[in-house]
């Protein structure tokens, strides 16, 4: 299974001081030398971490393919077309969210997503749709003509953390921490089953299937066994670990866990 390393959080640290250190560009060689297969960045509408110049420099310098996450806003799509990443992953975006909280509404926004895909494909940029792991979303993604789907693993990851960690995983999780363990186990099984079913369906429809969000060194194990998933995109847990181990070790350790 291939590994895309999301390096947005290096820019998050830089933006905490609004200076030029640390430079996300410095991560490219380290990721490439330690087993990463792809670099992932998110050019958000509010430019809260990665800026246009970062995206340009990263795409120009990266020894690995660059997967650029972006919204379907036509102005952003025009910028992405001119940046020419290897792949664009279309994600829903809300200004007030701390991270991408759910998948794209592929049915409700069918026409706008179709326009974005056609424009990107015309610029020889392959397109992935970040969707919730549901049968309907996968089927609609296939009808939209996307090359990839990326399945949102956030629900699975949140439930896993509630079950296995003594600390609240996220602000969403606090209430559900009071759920009995057997109920959490059932919910994890359901969330995991949704990912398996969606990945299998995606593959059978001819889509390439990625997954990501909230994956870490613990919860990745059962995801790696899903052989219809080709790629994982992981950011937070790798960059968090790198504070203590260095980025080289953090990437290498995650890549080892991606081996089937
Ligand atoms: N995939 C997509 C589409 C994302 O939006 C994100 C978060 O930016 C990730 C993967 C990585 O998520 P995390 O940082 O939780 O590993």
Pocket of ligand 1 (CB under 6 A): 6, 8, 42, 69, 89, 91, 99-100, 130, 150, 212-215, 233-237
The low-confidence residues of the chain, meaning pLDDT below 70, are 95-96, 99-100, 166-177
Q: Helices in 123-232 by DSSP H: which ranges?
A: 135-144, 154-164, 181-204, 220-224
What pLDDT score was predicted for residue 179? 79
Unique residue bearing structure tokens 């995606």: 202
| Spacing, Cα 111 to ligand 1 middle (Å) | 25
Nearest in space to 227 (alpha carbons), one of 184, 259, 250, 179: 259
Nearest in space to 235 (alpha carbons), one of 48, 38, 95: 38
Domains in the chain and their CATH numbers? 2-257 (3.20.20.70)
What pLDDT score was predicted for residue 162? 87
Q: Please, how many CA atoms are within 13 Å of residue 146, restricted to the half-sphere of its CB? A: 31
Nearest C-alpha to atom 3 of ligand 1 is from which residue?
130
Unique residue bearing structure tokens 């990851």: 157
Pairing of strands 126-131, 66-70: unpaired
The neighbouring-strand residues paired with 40 are 6, 67
Nearest in space to 97 (alpha carbons), one of 41, 172, 6: 172
| Cβ atoms within 10 Å, residue 173 | 15
What pLDDT score was predicted for residue 255? 98
What pLDDT score was predicted for residue 16? 97
Catalytic residue flag (residue 69): yes
What pLDDT score was predicted for residue 231? 98
């Amino acid at each position: 299974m291939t590994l895309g390393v999301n390096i947005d959080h290096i820019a998050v640290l830089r933006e905490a001081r609004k200076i030029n250190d640390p430079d996300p560009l410095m991560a490219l060689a380290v990721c490439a030398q330690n087993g990463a297969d792809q670099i992932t960045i998110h050019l958000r509408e509010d430019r809260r971490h990665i800026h246009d110049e970062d995206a340009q420099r990263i795409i120009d310098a990266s020894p690995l393919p660059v997967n650029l996450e972006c919204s379907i806003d036509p102005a952003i799509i025009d910028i992405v077309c001119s940046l020419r990443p290897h792949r664009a992953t279309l994600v829903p975006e809300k200004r007030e969210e701390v991270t991408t909280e759910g998948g794209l509404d592929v049915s409700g926004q069918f026409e706008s997503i179709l326009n974005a895909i056609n424009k990107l494909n015309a610029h020889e940029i392959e397109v992935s749709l970040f969707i919730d792991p549901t049968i309907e979303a996968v089927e609609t993604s296939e009808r939209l003509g996307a090359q990839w789907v990326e399945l949102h693993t956030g629900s699975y990851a949140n439930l896993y953390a509630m079950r296995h960690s003594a600390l609240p995983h996220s602000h969403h999780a606090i209430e559900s921490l009071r759920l009995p363990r057997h109920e959490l186990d059932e919910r994890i099984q359901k969330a995991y089953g949704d990912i398996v079913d969606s990945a299998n369906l995606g593959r059978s429809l001819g889509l390439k299937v990625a997954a990501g969000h909230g994956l870490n060194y613990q919860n990745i194990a059962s995801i790696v066994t899903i052989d219809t998933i080709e790629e994982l995109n992981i950011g937070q847990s790798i960059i968090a670990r790198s504070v203590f181990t260095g980025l080289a070790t953090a990437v290498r350790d995650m890549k080892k866990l991606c081996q089937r």
